[in-house]
Structure formats: C-alpha cells, structure tokens
Amino acid sequence: MAKKKTRFVCQECGYESPKWMGKCPGCQSWNSLVEEVVASSSGSRHTLVSPPSDNKKPERITSIASEDTPRIRTKMPEFNRVLGGGVVPGSLVLIGGDPGIGKSTLLLQVSSQLADSSLKVLYISGEESARQTKLRADRLGVMSDNLYVLAETNLVDIVNQIDQLDPDFVVIDSIQTIYREEVTSAPGSVSQVRECTSELMRISKSRSIPIFIVGHVTKEGSIAGPRLLEHMVDAVLYFEGERHHTFRILRGVKNRFGSTNEMGIFEMKEEGLQEVLNPSQIFLEERSQGAAGSTVVASMEGSRPVLVEIQSLISPTSFGNPRRMATGIDHNRVPLLMAVLEKRVGLLLQNQDAYVKVAGGVKLDEPAIDLAIAVSIASSFKDQISKPNDVLIGEVGLTGEVRRVARIDQRVQEAAKLGFKRAIIPKKNLEGWTPPTSIEVIGVNTVQEALKATLGG
C-alpha cells in the first residue's frame, strides 16, 4: 500500500514545507505549520466550471473596444462610494471584520436592496441555518421574493445551485466555512480557502456574476488565511468599529475599480445599519469646549473631506524613558513632531509622556494632519486652550516649515459648512482659489506662526 504524501502549510502566509518547523520561514510566525495530505493529481485539480468553448487569442490593445461597464447601485450611497460608484458585474469582493461587527447584517441589507430592484440574489450561509437567517431578516425588515437563502458549505453543491438558479448577485458567508471535497485539509485551512476562492473567482469572471465573500480576521486584525486571498479578489473592504459603540466604518484597502482611500460611515441600530451622511458632525458632536490639547483637522478620506478632533495629553513622566502613545495615527509620527517642537520652537518635551488620540475611532494616515497634531501637543504642554473655531491643515517638515497639501479648497469649504470661523493653512496654498466668505483663512510658513495664531505665542 502506497504511503500517503504529506506537506506542512503555514496557516498565516501559505508557505509550504516538506517537514515541520517551529517557525515559518515566510512570515516568521511560530507554530503555524499544519500537516496536510497531498491529494492525488488525478482528482484534485479538476475545475468545477467548464472552460469556454471558443479558443481565445491575443488581441492588439488598440483593437479592443472601450466600454463603460455599468455599475449596479444599491440604495446605500456610502456603500456605493467605498466600492467606487457601485457593484461592478463580474467582480469578486472580500469583506473582513471582527466577529459581531455587522458584516452579515450589512450584506443582508445590500442583498435585500438589490432584490427589491428586480435582481435575483443568492445568499449562501455556511454559519447559520436558513431559519436563523430568516430570523435576522425579519428583524431587519427584509422581505423580497427575489432573495434566495441557501445553508450549504460544500463547494460542489454551491456551484450546482448557482447553475440552476443563475443569480445576478451572490453572497458567501463565510469563506472559512466552505470546503472542497478533493482537498483533504479541514475547512478554513489555507488550502481550502485558496481553492474555494479560486473556484469562486472563475465563476464570477466567466459568468459576470458579482460575488461578495465574508472573511474572518485574525487576532492581529488581518483577514484570516494567506495574503494570496487578498491578491485574488478585485476589492478588499474592512468593516471596523467597536462592538460597544454604535458607529461602524467601512474602509476600502484594495479596489481595482475605484479609489482605495474611500470610507463609509454607518450607525448600528435595532433595525440594522443606517448611513451617516455627515460624518464630520458625528465626529465633532462630543467635542469638549475649553479643553487644552484639542484641535480640529480637515482630512481627506478618498474624495470627501472629513473633520475630526485630535486630542493630546502631555504630562511629566514618572519613568526613565517617557512614553509615546498614539491611537488612530502612526505612532512614529508623534515623537517626530515632538522633536520638531523641541528643536524649532523650544518646548522642553524630552521628559514628558505624550498620549495622542484621534477621537471617534477613525484612522488618519495623510501628512496634512501634522499641523493639528503639533498644535494639539503644544496646547496640552502649555495648558493653553486653542481657539475652538479654528481648523488646522498642513504638513510639517523637519525644519519646522508648514508645507502645502492637496485639495485645500474642499477642506476649507467643509470647515465653513460646519461653522468654523478660521482656517490655519500653509501659505503656499493661498494661491489659485477663492475661499468662502464665512471663514477667515490664515496662511502660515512655520509651526511658530501657527502656534502664535492659535495659542497667542
């Protein structure tokens, strides 16, 4: 009797090894290699989707006709915005997020809206029965004859049901529960996730059916399974937020059909997720007036400006090495800006603990927030209140200069719309546009000038 061939596959990155190792050479993870049986080549690599009958040949790119692919729009403008304007036919979209954050709720609501638009939608649940999905649908008010629910985890049966129903839209909840019989490893393993996603991708592309896949996340916050999974799909969306808070953020980290910087805000209510059309007002509604260390910045999230509050707390350290902690921004940016304030402005911050936070749970990564962070740190250190009707925009260089940023007109207009009276911006950004009459625009060249304008010194 022939001995079975086995291999060891890393469950984090997909690295394969003929022998077990305690540490994965690919991603440096410990105890992540799991033994899997190598299936025979006769039945492990057959394709469930029949290949096209016509033989395709290479074409000159100049001879290919350019067509605008019509997008399928849902009744959620925030969801359409993150996808780049709507669902592209034949696209494969991966949605990840923490357990209980609302991924299934969001996709069930989207499925209901598409079904109400006379589209045939197939919702495949591998974690709930059809009756359990019905209970959630009743709570959300989902009632449509064009929405079909299937509780199945076998990929062969799923493909057969797609063949019979011929839907316009498919949801897989979740990819870690789907398995293929020819693959000997357990559902949720690297091999199963990779093979099932590859098969779903072939179905999506060959039949022009948009497929949404739900993916679990690891303890580190990344989507479970190999990074290859994110490379295979057309778009990767992350559903973020605290389960104990009502607001959720849908963020695009990869999108072949639109911008990867778009962000959608939702509020979790008893009847489901509802859109937040004015996120700036939500992020600023709990802002405390008259507190030192609080500033407001206009940050661009994709194609729209969002005003958020940045809070800083500077206090004398009790240890040999002062602490530098940041939430919502890159933690390396805080000591950099503190070094600029100490060297160029003269603030003695080397013996101070610094805690910087972006209020509201949003994450900011663009350089235009540097000036607001620097002024916030200086305000807390001096215990001086910055003017509450000021919004600060600008990138700070290592020599203390304030550098120009992009889309300054949209940022200032959003600040004026929310009632702010002054905008502190780089002086180089004053040219080429006309600011609104309801807001005063002040241009600064250095951080010292910005501190003088906001703190009076």
**Is 99 known to sit in a ligand binding site?**
yes
Secondary structure of residue 225 in the 3-state scheme: coil
**Is 90 known to sit in a ligand binding site?**
no
Residue 189 to residues 41, 128, 316, Cα–Cα distance (Å): 20, 20, 49
**Is 101 known to sit in a ligand binding site?**
yes
Residue listed under structure tokens 């493909």: 159
Q: What token pair was written down for 264?
A: 């959608």
Answer for the pair 424, 444: CB distance below 8 angstroms, yes or no: yes
**Is 269 known to sit in a ligand binding site?**
no
**Is 367 known to sit in a ligand binding site?**
no
How many of the other CB atoms lie within 10 Å of CB of 213? Answer: 29
Residue listed under structure tokens 């001995």: 3
**Is 408 known to sit in a ligand binding site?**
no
**Is 97 known to sit in a ligand binding site?**
yes
Classify residue 176 by its DSSP letter: G
Q: Which residues does 63 contact at the CB level (< 8 Å), separation at least 6?
A: none
Question: How many Å apart are CA 317 and CA 349, to the nearest integer?
Answer: 10
Dihedrals φ, ψ of 136, to 5°?
Answer: -70, -35
Q: ∠ CA(327), CA(100), CA(184), 5° rounding? A: 110
Question: How many Å apart are CA 252 and CA 102, to the nearest integer?
Answer: 16
Q: What token pair was written down for 454?
A: 């906001």
* 255 alpha-carbon distance from chain centroid: 11
Residue listed under structure tokens 């540490």: 23
Binding residues, as ranges, are 97-104
Q: Please give the annotated binding residues for ATP, written as ranges.
A: 97-104
